A and B are shown apart, each in its own frame.
Chain A
Amino acid sequence: MTTTATQPVARAAGPGSAARRRARRGDLLVRYAFIAPAALYMIAFFGYPILKNVVMSFQDYDFATFFNGKAPFVGLANYTATFSDPIFLRALGNTGLFTIGSIIGQFVIGMALALYFRKKFPLSGFLRSLLLLPWLLPMIVSAAVWRWILEQDNGALNRFLEGVGLISDPIPWLVSSSTALVAVIIVNIWLGIPFNVVLLYSGLQSIPDELYEAGQLDGATGWKSFWHITLPMLRPVVSVVLLLGVIYTIKVLDLIIGLTGGGPANATQTLATRSYEMSFIEFDFGQGAALSNILILIALAFSLVYLRANARAAKNG
């Protein structure tokens, strides 16, 4: 069954009699009932933590606070301390590079694989399912395996690259300031590809074939059809994939902790790892919260762009 009509039906807005108003109120209640469970869950599970994190960032919240509950308010002190921290700028820069590098890599490779697996060939579904594997491994395992692969002296990657003659000296993937961030980005791209492939693939699946047929008559094939048919039709999915990609990447913590611990010499320190370090190594939870709030603000900025674009699309749609 396919759908062909593309004209949204205009809503009949009749004159409002009392009965109709009642009906409409009932109708409105039903509509809100659709949202209610999710809204209640969100309030119950996120309201308190969000509030607590914001409040904490204005407090001197340290190790002893957990036992005696004393956390005096210190105004903006945690934020000023954060901004004057010499590592902060580096972590901010690393966060930017890490996020941009990861997103571009994941999205491009993910899109290419999704398009490729859209072809019907034997085993295509099975192979596509296998691509999810990286997500099924516990992070501690992925991090350990990648550490062995990226090991400078005996790691599989360097042995392979030396074997095929691409490099003459082993690359110190995780132990040099200049390559550690690149290595961590590569691993994060690997982790993020399944996410992109699955979402983009199911987006591609819901594009009706008729569009391509019609496009072919107009001479849109290959790149052209991708550009003029696939991408516009995928727009809502692409935008949510990119947005979520940014939000998830910006707060990546356990992968970096597992691979490098933010080292060597802070080369892979991001805002997320720094926030964790501040809280659980320095036990300065106020500053840790301030850092994670800065992270949230950055992600919020992206989200606002997304929401604006959505609102515009809704108006035009």
Chain B
Amino acid sequence: MSTATTATTGGPIAPAPAPTPRRPRPGRAWIHTVIGIVLVAIMLFPVYWMVNASLAPAGNSLNTQWLPLNPDFSGYSRAIADQGQNLITSLIVAIGACVLSVAIAAPCAYALAQFRIRGTAVLLFVVLISQMIPGIVIANALYTVYTPLGLINSIPGLILADASQGIPFAILIMRAYLETFETSIVEAARVDGCGHVRAFWSIVLPVSKNSLITAGIFSFLFAWSDFLMALTLTTGETIRPVTLGLYTYIGTNDTDWSAVMSTAVLSSLPAVILMIIAQKYVAAGATGGAVK
């Protein structure tokens, strides 16, 4: 499976077409599209299998059909009825964690990459260590702290907890991009009497939109796919992300797989749409004027 992928992608790296106007002739472009579709199809086969299982009649998760010829939508009707609210919770928490992560991480990453101040090495080190701590250890500690603060079963509590993956990650990623950032523009602005904050806000941020969005995407994904924090820091059914909601179909001994798979399919739709929008910005690349 993986070997097949490398074999087909090994080629294109080689004689790359002249890069500047990277627009090959229309005919060739479509060939690229076809190859691209094939690559994505191989990658997404398990996702297709999930869709396939979601359309199988309940209890026939081991369906041996390659195509869902007799689709059964009962799993979807259950999923929509049970998980609609949870889906909204998931989206709010993931977007909140994404915004919070980027807002806290961006200035820090810039400072780590560009300022020469003492303590940055220590902070960087702590950021790295934080990525190594098993999630369960953090979740347990947060539970103890959250209980007296009344943050259990609260959206802000979940956003703060889920950002614990996003913030260190975003700092590291943005710092890597900002290292190659051209300091001369900022220096020039500083000479013109522009303060650090202003330089950061109106020069650095617009130019590094690309890395901001990349960091944002992953912060969103981390929060979106979180299960552990949700499990630990919520107790009722009022606030329950969809990852945890899935578990209502997973019994201790039997599982309603078609409902589980339907929920997964449904829950990935809004997230995919968000991703496509965000990726558009990444594709726009490091454009955007550096001088307002």
Contact = CB atoms under 8 A, between A and B. Distances in A.
Contacts of B43: 131, 134, 190, 193
Interface stretch (A73-81, A82-90, A148-156, A262-270): A148-156
B282 A201 contact: yes
B285 A148 contact: no
Contacts of B288: 1
B133 A236 contact: no
Contact of A42 (B130, B188, B290): B130
Interface residues of A, number: 118
Contacts of A276: 134, 136
B271 to A, nearest CB: 5
Interface in A144-163: 144-146, 148-149, 151, 154, 156-157
Interface in A189-248: 189-190, 193, 195, 198-199, 201-203, 205-206, 209, 212-213, 216, 221-223, 225-226, 233, 236-237, 239-240, 243-244, 247-248
Contacts of B187: 8-9
Contact of A119 (B32, B112, B120, B221): B32
Query: By DSSP majority rule, is chain B's interface helix, strand, loop, or mixed?
Result: helix
Contacts of A46: 126, 129-130, 133, 138, 164
A225 B243 CA distance: 44
A281 interface: no
Interface string A170-202: 000000000000000010011001010011011
A299 B115 CA distance: 27
Interface stretch (B11-19, B71-79, B232-240): B11-19
Contacts of A317: 179
A112 B286 contact: no
A138 B271 CA distance: 12
Nearest to A254: B227
Contacts of B264: 137-138, 141
Interface string B131-150: 11110111011100100000
Interface in B201-256: 210-211, 213-214, 217-218, 221, 224-225, 227, 242-243, 246-247, 250
Contact of B211 (A135, A145, A202): A202
B195 A307 contact: no
A43 to B, nearest CB: 8
Interface residues of B, number: 131
Given A116-B36, A307-B125, A222 B16 contact: yes
A39 B123 contact: yes
Interface in A28-57: 28, 30-32, 34-35, 37-39, 41-42, 45-46, 48-50, 52-53
A250 to B, nearest CB: 8
A154 B62 contact: yes
Contacts of A108: 6
B167 A221 contact: no
Given A34-B200, A222-B14, A300-B129, A129 B134 contact: no
Contacts of B18: 216, 221
Contact of A3 (B44, B279, B282, B290): B290
A19 interface: no
Contacts of B179: 236, 313, 317
Nearest to B47: A133
Please list the 4 inter-chain residue pairs (A to B) with the smallest Cβ-Cβ separation, ordered nearest first. Answer: A38-B108, A112-B9, A121-B32, A34-B111
Given A105-B2, A129-B279, A135-B225, 20 more contacts: A9-B187, A38-B171, A45-B164, A50-B129, A119-B32, A121-B29, A121-B32, A128-B283, A129-B272, A129-B276, A130-B40, A131-B43, A136-B224, A136-B271, A206-B177, A206-B180, A216-B19, A223-B13, A248-B131, A292-B133
